[in-house]
Amino acid sequence: MRRSPGAKTDGSGRTRVTATGAAVALLIGGLSFAACGDDDSPGRTDAQPKARRAQASPRPSPTPPTAWDRTPESLAAVGDSISRGFDACSLLSDCPEVSWATGVDPDIKSLARQLLERPRKQSWNVAKTGAVMADLPAQMERAAAHDPDMVTVMAGSNDACQPSAAEMTPVAEFRTDFEEALRTLRREQPKTQVYVSSVPNLKRLWSEGRKDRIRMQVWRLGICQSMLQDPNATGKAAVDRRQQVYDRVVAYNTVLEEVCAEDELCRYDGGAVFDYRFTGDELSSWDWFHPSKQGQRKLAELAYRQITAS
């Protein structure tokens, strides 16, 4: 288990809108290292040239990179509504028991159930429906207090899902917030592993969800209006708006990948969640946008595959 002192910060203030948060890319240090020994020969004297003596001096062995542990004994989840199982069990409600990360429902086969001996005792869900990336540092601080072996991250959908495309979180701010979140964790838990899911393809979710006219009425309650407003509009303004949201999500995922790559104990999912083509059965029957129980199970499957990869 991890222990190191530390404290932390927070900062939010941006509009929170209930939306999908919605997951993996493999960034690991090598497992081998070389140590260079002393090549001095017996009988060497001070009369030998200084350059030769310097060349013969033993070089320090490099510090071996830390190997990824595919069998963590505890985990905490940070992020937004997807990790809370929002709209998976009932309308406009969290259902953390079916969370892809920490859910205890045996039908979901969550990461906690697949990786841990005692899922209820060894996992913690501090994600919050409506959270944006600026909320992640505070969540990381709460997660770190549990001393987890691993933290799962699924955040960014609400940064794109704003009342309008103009209100989406700027990419530079998104990067700053994610970097601060990882620094917060590292100050308190330097050895905790981090698994980062990509932001889902919101345009794909719109394309699939708009097939049901009745459920589209739920979208008018305020779900991801930057993408879902006027879902059947085909004019240039609507097409351009959806493309702008799509491009912003791609940019967010680039940030997640790049920042994660700078931390040897961080794995990004390689775009597995973004690339996955959710079906109607894998979307909530309440809002046709968030993952259903089947969708949560698929997210858990994608994550487990990435986390346990060698």
pTM above 0.85, yes or no: no
Q: Any residues with CB less than 8 A from the CB of 289 and at least 6 apart, and which?
A: 19, 20, 87, 205, 209, 219, 223, 224, 228, 283
75 membership: H or E segment, kind and range: strand 75-79
* In the block, residue with structure tokens 């955040």: 155
CA distance 241 to 6: 43
Task: Compute the C-alpha angle 236/200/99, nearest 5°.
Answer: 145
CB atoms within 10 A of CB 70: 12
CA distance 152 to 299: 12
The per-residue pLDDT for 247 is 98
Please list the pLDDT of the chain residue by residue as tens digits (310 residues).
Answer: 443 434 444 444 444 444 333 333 333 333 333 333 333 333 333 334 333 333 444 444 444 456 899 999 999 999 999 999 999 999 889 999 999 999 999 999 999 999 999 999 999 999 999 999 999 999 999 999 999 999 999 999 999 999 999 999 999 999 999 999 999 999 999 999 999 999 999 999 999 888 877 777 788 888 899 999 999 899 999 999 999 999 999 999 999 999 999 999 999 999 999 999 999 899 998 888 999 999 999 999 999 999 999 8
The per-residue pLDDT for 41 is 35
Q: Any residues with CB less than 8 A from the CB of 208 and at least 6 apart, and which?
A: 278, 279, 280, 283, 288
The per-residue pLDDT for 66 is 61
The per-residue pLDDT for 215 is 73
Q: Which two tokens stand for residue 197?
A: 């899911």
The per-residue pLDDT for 33 is 31
Pair 160, 21: CB distance under 8 Å: no
CA distance 117 to 71: 10
Q: What is the DSSP string of 199-215?
A: PP-HHHHHHHHTT-HHH
78 membership: H or E segment, kind and range: strand 75-79
**Top CATH class, 71-307:** alpha beta
| Residue 259, φ and ψ in degrees, nearest 5 | -70, -40
